[in-house]
Chains A and B, each alone.
Chain A
Amino acid sequence: MKTDTIAAIATAMTNSGIGIIRISGDEAVEVADRIIRLKGNKKLSDCKTHTIHYGFVMEEDVKVDEVMVLLMKGPKSYTREDTVEIDCHGGILVMNRILDLVLKNGARPAEPGEFTKRAFLNGRIDLAQAESVIDVINAKNDFALKASMNQLSGDVSDIIKEIRKKIIHEIAYIESALDDPEHYQMDMYGEELAEKIAPVISKIEHLLVNAENGAILKEGIHTVIVGKPNSGKSSLLNSLVGKERAIVTDIAGTTRDVIEEQIRLNGISLNMIDTAGIRTTDDVVEKIGVDKAKEYVEKADLVIYVVDSSIPLDADDDKIIELLQERNVIILLNKSDLEPVITEKDMLSRLNKRILSVSAKNKDGIDDLERTIEDMFFHGKIQMNDEVYITNTRHKASLQDVKQSLRLVQQSIADGMPEDFYAIDLMNAYEELGKIIGEAVEDDLVNEIFSKFCMGK
């Protein structure tokens, strides 16, 4: 069967330095030859694979852009089909014009994810790898990227394959013993199996914990700034973000809604949410902001509690402190430029967390804050050595099912059920693991996965 030729702009649709138009399919080279005049009038179809060429995209006799053209003949290309990439100048107008030409000359627009879908269909990557491509594309920071790259290289697959092998081995033993009881003993098998399952469950749990971290990596650390009105939350956010984003006034209650910013600290994304100050209020609009703040605190990975150290703690602080007892918190004694009435000691006796003195307005102590956040998340909770991270929610759900099934096997053993019952849940675990690495057949999986892709990938 002939595959049709697809094309799309592979880089972001913004005005940037370089843009890439990607063409893939049986006629990719011909299409390129129709619109590109290479230096020395050579034809791309006569060139060796994996070479780069200089030339011009032409519309009739008019030069559209000066380009570099990459030729990768199948199967040694991402899609395993003949692929041509045109590196052009990155203006939206130019890119669109070149794409138009490509489409007029025999290609059709690619659907989202179609390049990767073809790579998958042509056996270039497995499903887990395909999904990692999405993560790479969507990775918001270096660490998320590394985690995704690990999956792409098959680390997750390797671990899952190993666990699957162990499980299928046990299933096979049970089945053999059922059919040939003379030669396969079942005495004490339950105990034996229980011993083998426990470490597998811990391994799955470990992957699941990493999945939580993986989510943090991918989404960024969910950070919420709280504090009473006018304690300096917005100023803090502004000094971290480096621009005036939140409305900063001296009137208490100015930030009535939540304001979200993403900042990067040493490669880690922080999703900072500035909230309305928390205090008892009758103002309906502000009330909504306060409720939202509470809700955000519940969901936060990290809470930065900003305290105005120039005024005493009051009933509103009591409420905040109550909310924060069980959370990851950094307390900022703000307004260190003013005469303090609250000391670190006072504060710690109420809420025993990390504490720093800063002046958000003068940007004093902001560096300390950044280091503290890094410290907490790099060396504490998240360690980016060679760990494998599950960053995909579908994988995570599967792992949870696997864990549940293995627990049921443990339960069956504990209940003294006959051995043949173990196989039912072991098989579930095996199949579920297969779904993660694409070794179990799922009817609607493929389309679901590729529909999540963006154009040009």
Chain B
Amino acid sequence: MPCIVENYDVCVVGAGHAGCEAALAAARLGMETIMFTVSVDSIALMPCNPNVGGSSKGHLVREIDALGGEMGKNIDKTFIQSKMLNKSKGPAVHSLRAQADKASYTREMRKTLENTEHLTIKQAEVAEIITEGKEDCHIVGIKTVSGGTYYCKAAILCTGTYLHARCLTGEMVMQTGPNGLQSATHLTESLLQHGVEIFRFKTGTPARIDKRSIDFSKMVEQKGDERIVPFSFTTNPEDVQIDQISCWLTYTNEKTHDIIRANLDRSPLYAGVIEGTGPRYCPSIEDKVVKFADKDKHQVFIEPEGLNTNEMYVGGMSSSLPEDVQYQMYRTVPGLENAKIVRNAYAIEYDCINPNQLYPSLEFKHIKGLFSGGQFNGSSGYEEAACQGLIAGINACMEIQGKEPLILDRSEAYIGVLIDDLVTKENHEPYRMMTSRAEYRLLLRQDNADLRLSKKGYEVGLLPKERYDWVVKKEELIAQEMERISKVMIGANQKVQALLESLGSIPLNTGTSLVELIRRPELSYDLLAEIDPQRPKLPEEVCEQVNINVKYEGYISRQIKQVAQFKKLEKKKLPEDFDYTQIHGLRKEAIQKLNVVKPVSIGQASRISGVSPADISVILVYLEQLKYQHKKVEENA
């Protein structure tokens, strides 16, 4: 049977949040790119929560934006409510979250993709990867179910939750992907044949309820921020000050929990039907009731799915209980007594890979030119997926162009933390980004993602020059203003005392520096403008950085020291293809783990679960000895 044969530079398998970023990055870097999806209508689909960002995920979106990715821009076009979370806490944990109009989000992303040069969209299920070579196995193309062959120089797998997907609602099991979409049933086999290790994970989503059946008077309204901050550094803040839609807060109660406990035996997870491992940090309501047995209530957020739909998302109550139990359970929640369920909650199981098989560039260690990103790599969440897609897309191009891959380390970006965790640590459940995973979070703030990453985005070729030039200029402005205010002295005059008093701050005994005053918890750079007459007019974003730099100077400098220590170990490189059984004195478990992960540096090795500091010392000593022996050999020669 004659089949289609075509040639591309890059094949992207999947059009979810990872696939979209990967395809856009590749095409924008000039690669002829083709993106496959089982349904063109499901491009950039949000099958679970109707929002982008949130604690630490907001950081990821900002970083994607700073590197030249699309997610931030797309949500800025399509959000219906926005909030900066954790404002009462330190700047490191401030995080932006926006409610999306799901339909618009999908439509806008599709529009962007369809209008990107070098990018082809193709509705087809990919069945096989085609490789050549044994020792130097490398990708040469992919094959679709219909037999079409697409040759390529690099391929990026972003299959999300579609591989061998099945959805479970109590006893009912459907062999489909999310939202009843067709699952992909062939590719796993091809990967197994190529020696790829496959995991099986699960995740879940709550029910969607008809807005007209909800009594909002029993819930607490959750409004958006008065002043909206856009996600993208390139979006003009004035363009996003829209009328916002509210979310609503209510709670479960003991009655809810009783129903859940009484029906646990009908939950596929607890009845042992589900083989996949679920995320601890995005638990189903069943998990929460079991895990926090002493809590008499849990938060439930009712969130709109969009402007043109009555469907409301029931945040915090994802479940795989049977339909009848879901009705009982949801209807115990105040405001949901008469709830009509539009879509049932379900759990979804899918194939993904052990990401330890990947280099930090997201390329497979044993299949050159094959990259992967997103839930396929064992992560969870739109933002986690998008940033991996972006990095995989960039690095596929870097490889084709014979350039160094873009690898962000843990001190540079949350993206670096995420990827390092995936490729280094053992993941037995879908990986969710969390603030606590970032050791150097005071430096990795969402407000300075542009300062941290624009240079990289520009060097890679994704970030336009004008954008980069502005960031350089911004840096200069910040430095100049820091320098200026370090010299400003404030006298204990009447005007100063009056201002301090009005701000609830203790009056001055004697003159002090402006910097000292800014450091007072109740004061800030902006609040002291009127007693600093020489202050130049500066953009809001510059003032923000100056304020943070001054206020948290001691902490920032201590964290910078921690980073210096960290970098020392990252700089100690390990040989790429090294057999750790050779090192005498390593424990068996460590040898086994090291041989799987094949860490690129001592730093990475030290983060492998099962490798102890003593093991690291042994490797360090071994490296010392190697160096010593090399030196001796050289001297003798």
Question: Separation in Å of the A166 CB from the closest CB of chain B?
Answer: 18
Contact of B88 with A439 in the complex, beta carbons under 8 Å: no
Known contacts A415-B521, A419-B89, A440-B613: does B618 contact A121 (CB below 8 Å)?
Answer: yes
Contact of B434 with A179 in the complex, beta carbons under 8 Å: yes
Question: Separation in Å of the A123 CB from the closest CB of chain B?
Answer: 7
A428–B585 CA distance with the chains assembled, in angstroms = 29
A residues 409-457 with Cβ under 8 Å of B? 415-421, 424-425, 427-428, 431, 434, 438-441, 443, 445-447
Contact of B568 with A417 in the complex, beta carbons under 8 Å: no
Contact of B617 with A438 in the complex, beta carbons under 8 Å: yes
Question: Separation in Å of the B111 CB from the closest CB of chain A?
Answer: 35
Question: Separation in Å of the A114 CB from the closest CB of chain B?
Answer: 11
Question: Separation in Å of the A417 CB from the closest CB of chain B?
Answer: 7
A150–B584 CA distance with the chains assembled, in angstroms = 29
Question: Separation in Å of the A413 CB from the closest CB of chain B?
Answer: 12
Known contacts A122-B585, A420-B93, A441-B602: does B558 contact A425 (CB below 8 Å)?
Answer: yes
Contact of B436 with A176 in the complex, beta carbons under 8 Å: yes
Q: Mark B589-609, 1 if CB is under 8 A from A, else 0.
A: 000000000000010001000
Contact of A123 with B614 in the complex, beta carbons under 8 Å: yes
B residues 421-478 with Cβ under 8 Å of A? 434-436, 439, 441-442
A183–B606 CA distance with the chains assembled, in angstroms = 31
A117–B585 CA distance with the chains assembled, in angstroms = 11
Contact of B441 with A420 in the complex, beta carbons under 8 Å: yes
Contact of B587 with A123 in the complex, beta carbons under 8 Å: yes
Known contacts A179-B55, A183-B295, A443-B569: does B614 contact A126 (CB below 8 Å)?
Answer: yes
Q: Mark A282-315, 1 if CB is under 8 A from B, else 0.
A: 0000000000000000000000000000000000
Contact of B613 with A179 in the complex, beta carbons under 8 Å: no
Known contacts A176-B436, A179-B436, A441-B602: does B613 contact A424 (CB below 8 Å)?
Answer: no
Contacts of B617 in A (CB 8 A): 120, 127, 438, 441, 445-446
Question: Separation in Å of the B527 CB from the closest CB of chain A?
Answer: 17
B582 interfacial by beta-carbon distance below 8 Å: yes
Contacts of B624 in A (CB 8 A): 446-447
A349–B315 CA distance with the chains assembled, in angstroms = 83
Contacts of A424 in B (CB 8 A): 442, 555, 558-559, 562
Closest Cβ neighbor of A411 among chain B residues: B554
Contact of A443 with B568 in the complex, beta carbons under 8 Å: yes
Question: Separation in Å of the A25 CB from the closest CB of chain B?
Answer: 11
Closest Cβ neighbor of A80 among chain B residues: B585
Question: Separation in Å of the B283 CB from the closest CB of chain A?
Answer: 10
B419 interfacial by beta-carbon distance below 8 Å: no
A176–B434 CA distance with the chains assembled, in angstroms = 10
B116 interfacial by beta-carbon distance below 8 Å: no
Known contacts A123-B585, A175-B436, A438-B614: does B621 contact A446 (CB below 8 Å)?
Answer: yes
Question: Separation in Å of the B595 CB from the closest CB of chain A?
Answer: 15
Known contacts A1-B582, A123-B614, A424-B559: does B93 contact A178 (CB below 8 Å)?
Answer: yes
Closest Cβ neighbor of B587 among chain A residues: A123
Contacts of A182 in B (CB 8 A): 298-299
Known contacts A117-B621, A123-B585, A420-B441: does B613 contact A441 (CB below 8 Å)?
Answer: yes
Contacts of A445 in B (CB 8 A): 617
Contact of A441 with B89 in the complex, beta carbons under 8 Å: no
Contacts of A420 in B (CB 8 A): 89-90, 92-93, 435, 441-442
Q: What is the count of residue pairs linking A and B with beta-carbon distances less than 8 angstroms?
A: 99
Question: Separation in Å of the A453 CB from the closest CB of chain B?
Answer: 14
A3 interfacial by beta-carbon distance below 8 Å: yes
Question: Separation in Å of the B52 CB from the closest CB of chain A?
Answer: 18
B residues 173-214 with Cβ under 8 Å of A? none
B281 interfacial by beta-carbon distance below 8 Å: yes
Select which of B89, B281, B435, B562 is within 8 A of A428 by beta carbon.
B562
Question: Separation in Å of the B456 CB from the closest CB of chain A?
Answer: 25
B572 interfacial by beta-carbon distance below 8 Å: yes
B616 interfacial by beta-carbon distance below 8 Å: yes
Contact of A418 with B614 in the complex, beta carbons under 8 Å: no
A residues 340-377 with Cβ under 8 Å of B? none
Known contacts A121-B618, A175-B436, A178-B93: does B602 contact A1 (CB below 8 Å)?
Answer: no
Contacts of B613 in A (CB 8 A): 434, 438-441
Q: Mark B607-632, 1 if CB is under 8 A from A, else 0.
A: 00000111011101100100000000
Closest Cβ neighbor of A182 among chain B residues: B299
Contact of A418 with B299 in the complex, beta carbons under 8 Å: no
Select which of A3, A117, A183, A443 is within 8 A of B572 by beta carbon.
A443
Contacts of B583 in A (CB 8 A): 1
Select which of A117, A175, A179, A443 is within 8 A of B602 by beta carbon.
A443
Question: Separation in Å of the A189 CB from the closest CB of chain B?
Answer: 12
Contact of B620 with A446 in the complex, beta carbons under 8 Å: yes
Contacts of B621 in A (CB 8 A): 117, 121, 446-447
A176–B435 CA distance with the chains assembled, in angstroms = 9
Question: Separation in Å of the A439 CB from the closest CB of chain B?
Answer: 5
A1–B584 CA distance with the chains assembled, in angstroms = 6
Most buried by A among B90, B92, B587, B624: B90
Contacts of B298 in A (CB 8 A): 182
Question: Separation in Å of the B206 CB from the closest CB of chain A?
Answer: 16
A443–B434 CA distance with the chains assembled, in angstroms = 28
A residues 170-193 with Cβ under 8 Å of B? 175-176, 178-180, 182-183
Select which of B281, B582, B620 is within 8 A of A179 by beta carbon.
B281
Q: Mark B265-281, 1 if CB is under 8 A from A, else 0.
A: 00000000000000001
Contacts of A3 in B (CB 8 A): 584
Question: Separation in Å of the A447 CB from the closest CB of chain B?
Answer: 6
Contacts of B436 in A (CB 8 A): 175-176, 178-179
A359–B136 CA distance with the chains assembled, in angstroms = 91
A34–B576 CA distance with the chains assembled, in angstroms = 42
Select which of B281, B521, B612 is within 8 A of A417 by beta carbon.
B521
Contact of A441 with B559 in the complex, beta carbons under 8 Å: no
Contacts of B555 in A (CB 8 A): 421, 424
A434–B582 CA distance with the chains assembled, in angstroms = 28
Contact of B562 with A418 in the complex, beta carbons under 8 Å: no
- Which 5 residue pairs of A and B lie closest in terms of their CB atoms, listed nearest first? A175-B436, A418-B90, A121-B585, A418-B89, A179-B434
In the complex, 28 of the A-B residue pairs with CB atoms within 8 angstroms, ordered by the A residue number, are: A1-B583, A121-B621, A175-B434, A175-B435, A178-B55, A179-B55, A180-B281, A408-B554, A408-B558, A417-B90, A419-B89, A420-B92, A420-B435, A420-B441, A420-B442, A424-B558, A427-B439, A427-B562, A431-B562, A434-B613, A438-B613, A438-B614, A441-B569, A441-B606, A441-B617, A443-B568, A443-B569, A445-B617
Contacts A427-B439, A441-B616 known; 10 new A-B pairs at CB < 8 A: A1-B584, A122-B585, A123-B614, A417-B521, A419-B89, A420-B435, A421-B90, A424-B559, A446-B620, A447-B624
Interface residues of B (CB under 8 A from A): 55-56, 86, 88-90, 92-93, 281, 292, 295, 298-299, 434-436, 439, 441-442, 521, 552, 554-555, 558-559, 562, 568-569, 572, 582-585, 587, 602, 606, 612-614, 616-618, 620-621, 624
Interface residues of A (CB under 8 A from B): 1, 3, 117, 120-123, 126-127, 175-176, 178-180, 182-183, 408, 415-421, 424-425, 427-428, 431, 434, 438-441, 443, 445-447
